């Protein structure tokens, strides 16, 4: 980093000071070290911190505050990145970070209610785990709940072992969040190596997520993977109600953004809850899913142990013939930290001197040393995601269930196996045996749920083959089944990538739907499905028929005539957002009235708009 971005006067003034240290200071969580040069002290005196809340999406409770640097415009630097780059060039980056964190902690502690909230602090990746780094020296104040945000925008030092560094932070009582996820250097590698407590989805993926099926697909995959590892998700930059609802329904645990509150200077108190979030959840008229209700019925409301509990309480927790075999461990905000398993404590539980061993300070005084990670799922998580979490290696003991990020119960492996069994039986009862796609009952349920959700646009498409009977009669049922399977695979691929739903009504009749996306994008996808199938179907004919572009077959009256090659056509029903009284019968009637128009059109599609 050079000084070229500074004006001449500020540059000369800043460089004129020597780098000699004149004393010692101890910022919170830092080991004693040299204080900053006087020039840096003057720069930092001009800075201040604003706070922006991180809120639980289903309860509206304030989970924590992110400290955001302000006042950089009063320094010789253009932005915080340039300030930290300059500190790195002069070899005082760790000291500057310690001083900044001390300043943020001081401002945070001045807020009423700070003990009940978590403080999120950004840390430069270049000092993560290094000697002199904040929070790796003196023991931190246990009343202060801190989580360090490591940004993905800057590459970690090549010689840093991120997993070991983060373990050191955890032993110091500090959590870790992976910031700006999805727009930086390391991506999934950093997520895998760091095993953070939180992942913050970058604003790039949150902006317009309600209208972008690709962003939703990426966020869905990330949420599922993170929850399987016991990691909580924060959606950054939530600015609209539709973005809020979409992120919440995808399984994000917390939200941060202008919709809730802008970063504020001069804040006096931390609100316990945000009424806006409660109002948004109250306004959401959609019915809770059957999965939500079923999870509520089967989870065990097993009491958790606070991580600050003495180890001797474990003996009492596991005492008795009917005692649980695991103990959920939570922090002071009831956020799950993992499990302690009885089998890991055998040397204490079954020892004559177990209590004395646990009281031995040489073995440590925190439960964190005994905690193992566990998958975490929100109580409203779709069952297929819960099953995905159970398939993770870490889920052999079961899954911690949260609501709004807070622990509410535990789903044992036995209970989950029963759920999976019920789910598979229900699917098998209403599944096409050839394509394995959901059948009529599931399609009707999906249409009903889409019509109940009046906040988003829904695109519902009925698709069937043209001239399928003469094709089937001429080339045989095996070729007919091949055509059906070929089309079904295309539908599955689109639905899985775009967060949609694909169903098989029967025979050559199919249904596909996607919600919360732009009409133009959805119609383009349906048109692509139709066009690609026309090309795919050519492989089912002999060379002569392909060259002729037709084949001879009997029509319904028994007369021989030429039929064009197999193709698909469809009626697309677009349900606009807003109040309406539409029913599945209304949709079915619109489809029935328009099928002939679709088959007769050049594009093989006809669009009906309702609502």
- Interval 392-422: pLDDT, tens: 555 678 889 887 678 999 988 888 777 777 7
Give the residue among 117, 171, 170, 164 at the shortest CA–CA distance from 148: 170
Give the pLDDT band (50/70/90) at residue 331.
confident
pLDDT at 545: 87
Residue environment code for 351-367, b if the CB has 16+ CB neighbours within 10 A, otherwise e: eeebeeebeeeeeeeeb
Does residue 19 have a pLDDT over 60? no
CATH number for the domain running over 434-610: 3.30.70.270
What HEC string does 297-363 produce?
Answer: HHCECCCCEECCCCCHHHHHHCCCCCCCCEEEEECCCCCEEEEEEHHHHHHHHCCCCHHHHHHCHHH
pLDDT, tens digit, 9 for 90 and up, residues 158-194? 555 777 788 788 777 788 998 888 665 556 777 777 7
As beta bridge partners, residue 198 has 177, 232
Q: How many Cβ atoms are within 10 Å of 548's Cβ, its own excluded?
A: 12
Give the pLDDT band (50/70/90) at residue 34.
low
Whole-number Å distance between alpha carbons of 206 and 357 = 50
- Which residues neighbour 303 within 8 Å (Cβ) at sequence distance 6 or greater? none
First to last CA, the chain: 58
In what helix (H) or strand (E) does residue 79 lie, and over which residues does it extend? none
Rounded alpha-carbon distances, angstroms, from residue 316 to 16, 354, 397, 412: 64, 11, 20, 21
Handedness of CA 346, 349, 350, 352 (dihedral sign): positive
Does residue 31 have a pLDDT over 70? no
Residue range(s) occupied by CATH 3.30.70.270 in the chain: 434-610
Q: Are strands 62-70 and 118-123 parallel, antiparallel or unpaired?
A: parallel
Tokens at 555, concatenated: 């029509």
| Topology of domain 39-280, CATH | TIM Barrel (3.20.20)
- Predicted structure pTM score: 0.70
Q: Coil, strand or helix: which one is 61?
A: strand
| Topology of domain 294-422, CATH | CBS-domain (3.10.580)
Give the residue among 296, 344, 300 at the shortest CA–CA distance from 318: 344
Residue range(s) occupied by CATH 3.20.20.450 in the chain: 39-280
pLDDT, tens digit, 9 for 90 and up, residues 86-145? 999 998 999 999 999 999 999 999 999 998 899 999 999 888 878 788 887 655 566 788
CB 93 within 8 A of CB 128: no
Tokens at 80, concatenated: 């915080």
Residue range(s) occupied by CATH 3.10.580.10 in the chain: 294-422
């Amino acid at each position: 980093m050079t000084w070229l971005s500074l004006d001449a006067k500020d540059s000369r003034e800043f460089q004129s000071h020597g780098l000699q240290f004149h004393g010692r200071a101890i910022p919170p969580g830092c080991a004693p070290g040299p204080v900053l040069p006087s020039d840096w002290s003057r720069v930092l005196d001009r800075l201040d911190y604003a706070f922006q809340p991180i809120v639980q999406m289903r309860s509206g409770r304030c989970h924590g505050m992110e400290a955001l640097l302000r006042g950089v415009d009063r320094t010789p630097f253009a932005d915080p990145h340039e300030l930290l780059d300059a500190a790195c060039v002069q070899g005082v980056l760790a000291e500057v970070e310690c001083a900044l964190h001390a300043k943020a902690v001081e401002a945070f502690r001045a807020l009423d209610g700070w003990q009940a909230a978590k403080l999120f602090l950004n840390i430069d990746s270049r000092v993560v785990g290094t000697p002199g780094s904040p929070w790796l020296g003196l023991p931190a104040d246990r009343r202060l709940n801190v989580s360090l945000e490591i940004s993905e925008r800057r590459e970690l030092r090549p010689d840093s072992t991120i997993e070991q560094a983060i373990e050191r932070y955890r032993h110091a009582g500090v959590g870790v969040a992976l910031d700006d996820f999805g727009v930086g250097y390391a991506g999934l590698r950093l997520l895998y190596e760091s095993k953070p407590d939180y992942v913050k989805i970058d604003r790039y993926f949150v902006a317009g997520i309600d209208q972008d099926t690709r962003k939703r697909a990426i966020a869905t995959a990330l949420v599922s993977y993170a929850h399987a590892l016991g990691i909580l998700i924060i959606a950054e930059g939530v600015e609209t109600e539709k973005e809020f609802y979409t992120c919440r329904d995808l399984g994000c645990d917390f939200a941060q953004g202008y919709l809730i509150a802008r970063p504020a200077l001069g804040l006096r108190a931390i609100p316990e809850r945000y009424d806006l979030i409660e109002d948004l959840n109250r306004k959401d008229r959609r019915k809770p899913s059957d999965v939500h209700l079923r999870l509520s019925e089967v989870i065990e409301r097993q009491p958790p142990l606070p991580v600050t509990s003495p180890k001797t309480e474990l003996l009492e927790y596991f005492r008795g013939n009917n005692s649980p075999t695991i103990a959920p461990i939570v922090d002071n905000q009831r956020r799950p930290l993992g499990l302690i398993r009885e089998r890991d404590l055998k040397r204490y539980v079954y020892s004559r001197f177990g209590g004395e061993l646990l009281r031995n300070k040489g073995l440590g005084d925190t439960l964190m040393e005994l905690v193992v990670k566990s998958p975490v799922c929100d109580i409203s998580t779709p069952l297929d995601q819960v099953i995905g979490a159970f398939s993770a290696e870490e889920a052999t003991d079961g899954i911690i269930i949260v609501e709004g990020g807070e622990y509410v119960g535990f789903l044992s492996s036995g209970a989950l196996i029963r759920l999976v069994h019920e789910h598979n039986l229900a699917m098998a009862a209403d599944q096409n045996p050839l394509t394995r796609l959901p059948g009529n009952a599931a399609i009707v349920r999906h249409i009903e749920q889409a019509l109940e959700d009046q906040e988003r646009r829904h695109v519902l498409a009925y698709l069937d083959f043209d001239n399928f009977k003469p094709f089937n009669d001429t080339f045989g049922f095996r070729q007919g089944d091949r055509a059906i399977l070929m089309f079904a695979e295309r539908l599955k691929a689109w639905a899985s990538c775009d967060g949609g739903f694909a169903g098989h009504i029967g025979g050559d009749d199919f249904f596909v739907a996607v919600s919360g996306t732009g009409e133009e994008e959805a119609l383009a996808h349906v048109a692509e499905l139709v066009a690609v199938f026309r090309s795919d179907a050519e492989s089912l004919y002999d060379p002569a028929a392909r060259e002729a572009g037709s084949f001879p077959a009997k029509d319904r009256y028994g007369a021989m005539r030429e039929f064009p090659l197999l193709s698909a056509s469809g009626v697309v029903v677009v349900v606009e957002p807003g109040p309406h009284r539409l029913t599945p019968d209304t949709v079915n009637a619109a489809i029935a009235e328009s099928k002939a128009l679709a088959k007769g059109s050049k594009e093989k599609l006809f669009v009906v708009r309702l609502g």
